[in-house]
Structures are given as structure tokens and as C-alpha cells.
């Protein structure tokens, strides 16, 4: 990815970091500031959902793993970035949650809970960091054709129910979220903070 960006004439670095490993998040922030001198925008897009199952069948160790990657990691990255942004009284943080955070469904309870936690934390970030000049918003995506959900979407019954619950009756391509992300992180959204934008093709609650 970084190579593709550089080939287009822009500057980029690649830093390996696992969102469940705090020391690697610290290294990511440090490397970014060393390379570019500042952080203007953070997009917390990393997530995991290794198990799809009813709560009675949920492995005992699932919640700690989910919350480490989906909540604690993004929170740590946001805090470190906000501290740097505060030096200039400017910056934007975008947390990617899920439509499941707003309308949870069976077999996705732990994932929905982790994303709901991220939505709540994002609103608190927006309130606490507004005096620092930092805006914090959230996107709650609906069905997007990503690698993480490929197996789930491959189940015909689930896929059909999903399509039937969406006004546009389709699953989006990943690049269809770009416009919303650019808006929330850009100059056209300077008076937008604490918002949760559903990008879901018109899903019925």
C-alpha cells in the first residue's frame, strides 16, 4: 500500500502494528511523527471478529480478544494522536464502528458490543477533545464486501436476509465508504464532531 502511494507521487511509510499490542501502537505513532513531524488525521479501521456464534456457544476468551483489537487499541491510538493534535489545536479522528453497534443481531453479540463501546467512546472523545481542536466522528458501515466478512456473507440464508434488510438490496464495495470518510476528516466537516454516520445502503432497523 505504501509503495502504491509513493508511486503516485505522495509520501508514505509502512509500519507493522497489531492493534491488540499497545507497544506496537506506540511505535506506530512515534514512527509517524518522526517521518512527518505531526499527525493530522487518524482512521481507526482495524477490527476483528473471529467467531460468529450464539452467546451460549461463545468461547470464554473471545471478549478479551475482541475488545483488545476493536476497543482498547483504537482508544490508545486515538489518545496518542489527540495529544499530538492538541499541540496545533487541529486534527480529525475517525473511528469505524459497525451497523451492528446500532442494531445488534443474533450470533454477532460480542462484535456488536465491542463496536457499541467504540461508538460511546467516540462520543466521549468528541466532547472531551473539542477544546483541544480535535474532532472525532464515527462511521457505522452496513454490508461491505471485505475479507473479514467474506465467509459470513457466503452463507446463502444470511446473505439473503441481509439483502432483504437493505433498501438498495446489495452489498457495497469497499471504496464506497471513501467519500464519507473524506468528508468527516476534511475541511468540509469542520463543525461536525461526535456524529455517527450510517453508511449502510438504507438498512431497516
Q: Which positions are annotated as active-site residues?
A: 111
How many CB atoms within 10 Å of residue 174?
11
Please compute, for residue 82, the number of CA atoms within 13 A of its CA located in the half-sphere on the CB side.
Answer: 23
Residues in a beta bridge with 28: none
CB environment 26-42: b (16+ within 10 A), e (fewer): eebbeebeeeeeebebb
Nearest-CA neighbor of 111 among 62, 162, 146, 73?
A: 62
Distance CA 168, CA 93 (A): 29
Amino acid at each position: 500500500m505504501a509503495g502504491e502511494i509513493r508511486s503516485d507521487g505522495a509520501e508514505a511509510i509502512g509500519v507493522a502494528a497489531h492493534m491488540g499490542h499497545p507497544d506496537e501502537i506506540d511505535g506506530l505513532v512515534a514512527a509517524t511523527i518522526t517521518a512527518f513531524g505531526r499527525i493530522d488525521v487518524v482512521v481507526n479501521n482495524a477490527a476483528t471478529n473471529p467467531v460468529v456464534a450464539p452467546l451460549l456457544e461463545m468461547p470464554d476468551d473471545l471478549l478479551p480478544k475482541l475488545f483488545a483489537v476493536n476497543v482498547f487499541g483504537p482508544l490508545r491510538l486515538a489518545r496518542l494522536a489527540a495529544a499530538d493534535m492538541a499541540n496545533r489545536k487541529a486534527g480529525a479522528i475517525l473511528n469505524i464502528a459497525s451497523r451492528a453497534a446500532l442494531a445488534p443481531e443474533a450470533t454477532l453479540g460480542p462484535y456488536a458490543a465491542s463496536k457499541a463501546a467504540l461508538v460511546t467512546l467516540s462520543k466521549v472523545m468528541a466532547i472531551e477533545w473539542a477544546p483541544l481542536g480535535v474532532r472525532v466522528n464515527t462511521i457505522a458501515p452496513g454490508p461491505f464486501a471485505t475479507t473479514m466478512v467474506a465467509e459470513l456473507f457466503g452463507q446463502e440464508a444470511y446473505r439473503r436476509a441481509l439483502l432483504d434488510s437493505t433498501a438498495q438490496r446489495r452489498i457495497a464495495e469497499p471504496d464506497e465508504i471513501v467519500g464519507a470518510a473524506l468528508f468527516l476528516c476534511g475541511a468540509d466537516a469542520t463543525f461536525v464532531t461526535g456524529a455517527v454516520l450510517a453508511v449502510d445502503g438504507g438498512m431497516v432497523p
